[in-house]
Structure 1
């Protein structure tokens, strides 16, 4: 106790602690603050949905102190990826900003193939193949006409347009716009009558010309689907 009360001892102890901080801790602190790393930033404004190229990336040297976690510094993890959101010039790249697809693999492929999605209504249970139609199935869309285009009375006829054959089904919905495949599974599991697996609307993958013909056909007649073959569509996120 007497030793601690000695002013000379206390002064010496303070000097030793100050020296330790000055020569050991502070240099390490400033070294960490002055350390730099090379990171990737956007070289230009990049809209959402853009496939990233090397020209859109720029390497810059920045201080490592305070750098956000998760910043992507490897070009291999960015080139060929798709911007999920808009990236402003100078922004860092994070995993949540890029992905393999903008929406999913199927939608991206549809866009790249210059195809379209068109939804048509199903006028009856029979016209929609009852509850048997699934996404991925290939169908022909037949058009039932009760009268001719000029409005004159004529015998009803069924038209099979060449461009409306072998169309792929993207999705099938019931009257509540619920996926009928999910409703069918729920019905099988619960045996509940509340699930409705009957198709009321069908979305098809088509070309622009096929889309035009489908829309025209729906407003001039009634559509009836003819099953061709079973297929499978996988939505990869």
Structure 2
């Protein structure tokens, strides 16, 4: 009885396997017989501001019903077009990632209409330790003193795209950091005014953010008082040091000297007497 049951299960498994093979073969045949088209993909990484040539493209078979929007199948239509957003090897070349027709190759060709390019001086700290690259997005933080001469730090701009790092608009190896002294950003004229004022009245810092993070975060900034939890830093008073009393020599009392006796006045000299005789009269005068 058990052998019959095992044989039945074996036959059932074989039939299920044959049915799966037949269905898979039929599906593959339908796919092979379906309409196919071609899409041009990049044969290497294409960087910002780079002009496309025929050697950079390769046709790849693609289902006709699932063609990417804005794709191309004729290399002649892409000759001389300028890349506005990075295109990686094997990725289809799409119209939204290209600059308008007639644009010349260069950094200015990748700037969006109504935007400008402004360069900010950075160092190892301000430039996020060299991890910035063309195509990255950053937030700008400024540290200044307000009208009351109180220090305040605040985010002034968010999600600003990096156009170039130093003099290069090509994206280097993403796994390797490179410290530079200048970064070029894509901003609107209003944002350019804010950056120019902020770097002249305070200190700018860049914060690297995720490329898919598009949420804006409104902050009120932070002051030194808030940093210390609304309490001024307490400075322990320095105990006053009492002056050390110096030993004084004993005072020697001196008896006052007796006043000198007044010198005796010299005795008055005796007056001279002169007698005058006039006839019978006699008179005397003292001098």
Q: TM-score, normalised by structure 2?
A: 0.35
Structure having the higher helix fraction is 1
Q: TM-score, normalised by structure 1?
A: 0.41
